[in-house]
């Protein structure tokens, strides 16, 4: 079996199974956690508390004005490279074909040249994120293996994809195999690292907003 056949055959199937069951395991485990029961009645009713929770889910996605000078650069980097990843993953024609083969749905794509430029910019932003983490004394002390390895597997997919697009470094079939294997690695790591924040970030903000609203705290 050639490397490309292995990458998009057995390796991809195992990675998808680990990803699906891993994500399901994390989500079910979170739902089944024991929570402290709140016996007091909500200050303004359950419905209003829930609506304020939804409001917090959106309002906490951008820093307050008094903090923007201190956190604006990091926030801008985070939003920028996430948008870049979103475009590269969902609007590159081969990726859309792959998604269609799995789920049977597709949508219009962007020209490959535009996606390549966005991928290069995203890679540059990811390097800036790493440099900021290493240069910032507090971030550096707070960072652990999970932070760096999650950055590595994400960046590896971008780098191998750019190499395959540019036919740089090896035969195209080999480069494509590397790209798919790096994606397989990301899928396997996803449920067990901080990449799971994609599933947690908005529900956790909504839940926090709901409990704050129960107590009458402004959102």
Q: What CATH class does 3-32+62-193 carry?
A: mainly alpha
> CA 164 to CA 120: how far, in whole Å?
13
Question: What pLDDT was estimated at residue 165?
Answer: 92
Neighbouring CB atoms inside 10 A of 157's CB total 24
Question: What pLDDT was estimated at residue 89?
Answer: 94
For residue 202, what are its two tokens?
């908005």
> CA 119 to CA 142: how far, in whole Å?
28
Question: What pLDDT was estimated at residue 218?
Answer: 59
**Residue that the structure tokens 């009645």 belong to:** 41
Question: What pLDDT was estimated at residue 174?
Answer: 93
> CA 219 to CA 217: how far, in whole Å?
6
CA distances from 85 to 45, 100, 135, 200 (A): 40, 19, 24, 18
> CA 78 to CA 130: how far, in whole Å?
11
pLDDT, averaged in runs of 10, over the chain (219 residues): 88 95 92 74 68 71 75 86 95 93 91 96 96 92 95 97 92 94 96 91 78 66
Give the residue among 214, 218, 217, 219 at the shortest CA–CA distance from 41: 214
Beta-carbon contacts of 56 under 8 Å, excluding residues fewer than 6 positions away, are: 205, 206, 208, 209, 210, 212, 213, 219
Beta-carbon contacts of 136 under 8 Å, excluding residues fewer than 6 positions away, are: none
Q: How many residues belong to the chain?
A: 219
Cβ contact 209:52 at 8 Å: yes
Question: What pLDDT was estimated at residue 1?
Answer: 60
């Amino acid at each position: 079996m050639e490397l490309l056949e292995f990458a998009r055959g057995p390796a991809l199937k195992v990675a998808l199974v680990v990803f699906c069951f891993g994500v399901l395991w994390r989500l079910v485990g979170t739902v089944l956690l024991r929570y402290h029961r709140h016996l007091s009645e909500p200050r303004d009713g359950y419905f209003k508390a829930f609506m304020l929770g939804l409001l917090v889910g959106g309002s906490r996605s951008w820093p307050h004005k008094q903090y923007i000078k201190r956190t604006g650069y990091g926030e801008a980097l985070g939003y920028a490279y996430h948008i870049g990843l979103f475009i590269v993953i969902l609007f590159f024609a081969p990726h859309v074909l792959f998604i269609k083969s799995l789920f049977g749905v597709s949508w219009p794509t962007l020209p490959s040249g535009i996606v390549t430029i966005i991928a290069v910019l995203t890679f540059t932003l990811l390097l800036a994120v790493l440099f900021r983490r290493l240069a910032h004394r507090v971030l550096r002390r707070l960072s652990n293996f999970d932070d760096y390895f999650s950055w590595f597997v994400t960046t590896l997919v971008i780098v191998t994809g750019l190499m395959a697009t540019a036919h740089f470094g090896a035969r195209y079939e080999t480069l494509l195999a590397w790209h798919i294997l790096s994606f397989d690695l990301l899928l396997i790591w996803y449920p067990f690292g901080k990449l799971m924040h994609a599933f947690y970030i908005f529900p956790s903000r909504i839940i926090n907003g709901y409990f704050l609203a129960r107590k009458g705290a402004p959102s």
